[in-house]
Each structure stands twice: as C-alpha cells, then as structure tokens.
C-alpha cells in the first residue's frame, strides 16, 4: 500500500467530509471515526499522555519508528472528542517530523469545525494538534 503524506491525507479527509452537506452527517462520520480508533490500554492513560486544554479526557502518545516516521496513538472518554482524536491522528500519524510540521491545520476551518463545534471542543481540537506538532518538533530536533 502506498504511503500518503499528512498533506495528502488531509486533502482526502476534506474530500470525504465535504461529501456530506448536513452537519448531522458530519457528526456521524466523526463519531464513526472515533469508534474505529483502537482504545489505549489503561496503563497508557496516564497524566504524561493527557492533552491539556481538552474539556474531556484525551490522551495522545507519540513515538518515532525506525524508518523515521512519527506514529501517534490516542483515545478519549467522549465520543465526539474520540472522533476528533481519530481525525487528527488519521492525518498526522505516519508522517515524518518535517511533513507533520509543514501540514497546517487549515482543515479545521475548511470543514467548518470552528463554527460548528462548541468553543471548548474547538479549543480541545487545537490542543490535540498542538501536542502532535510539538512532539514532531521534538523528534525533528532529536536527530
């Protein structure tokens, strides 16, 4: 299977979500994404992995594999938040630190999440992206 860059995954995601005209359908798609996300083990749900700034509990773990790609795993205790975790990880996981850092989160605005999610959920989404980007930055500078 061909590896897609975060930028390519982002464009595909925008295309997938734009197929839905109704916001209710986009929420259903988001929840569906969250349900497909494998849960973290209880021993991974520790303070060190918590994403600060989220209304619900969100955990994101990152590691750089031997090929230089950053792999993210994550979970949440709320359905919509878990869908947002799945969305973010679906875009950025498997990218190189440089690819991750050069893929802006403009999909948030393009998909209308800024206006259709509650302010606290939007802040949480930005906190998730901040965590993903910061980890990529740290991996890039750990050469």
Q: Which residues are catalytic?
A: 54
* Interior/surface letters 35-53, b for 16+ CB within 10 angstroms, e for the rest: eebeebeeeeeeeebebee
Could you tell me the CA-to-CA distances from 63 to 40, 49, 82 in Å, in that order?
14, 12, 20
Is the distance from CB of 37 to CB of 89 less than 8 angstroms? yes
Helix (H) or strand (E) holding 73: strand 70-76
């Amino acid at each position: 299977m061909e590896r897609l860059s975060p930028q390519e995954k982002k464009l595909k995601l925008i295309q997938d979500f734009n197929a839905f005209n109704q916001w209710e359908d986009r929420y259903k798609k988001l929840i569906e994404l969250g349900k497909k996300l494998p849960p973290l083990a209880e021993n991974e749900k520790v303070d060190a992995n918590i994403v600060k700034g989220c209304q619900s509990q969100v955990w994101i773990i990152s590691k750089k594999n031997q090929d230089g790609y950053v792999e993210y795993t994550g979970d949440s205790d709320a359905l919509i938040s878990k869908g947002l975790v799945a969305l973010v990880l679906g875009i950025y996981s498997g990218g190189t630190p440089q690819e991750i850092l050069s893929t802006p989160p403009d999909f948030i605005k393009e998909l209308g999440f800024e206006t259709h999610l509650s302010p606290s959920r939007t802040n949480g989404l930005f906190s998730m992206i901040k965590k993903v980007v910061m980890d990529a930055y740290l991996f890039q500078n750990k050469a």
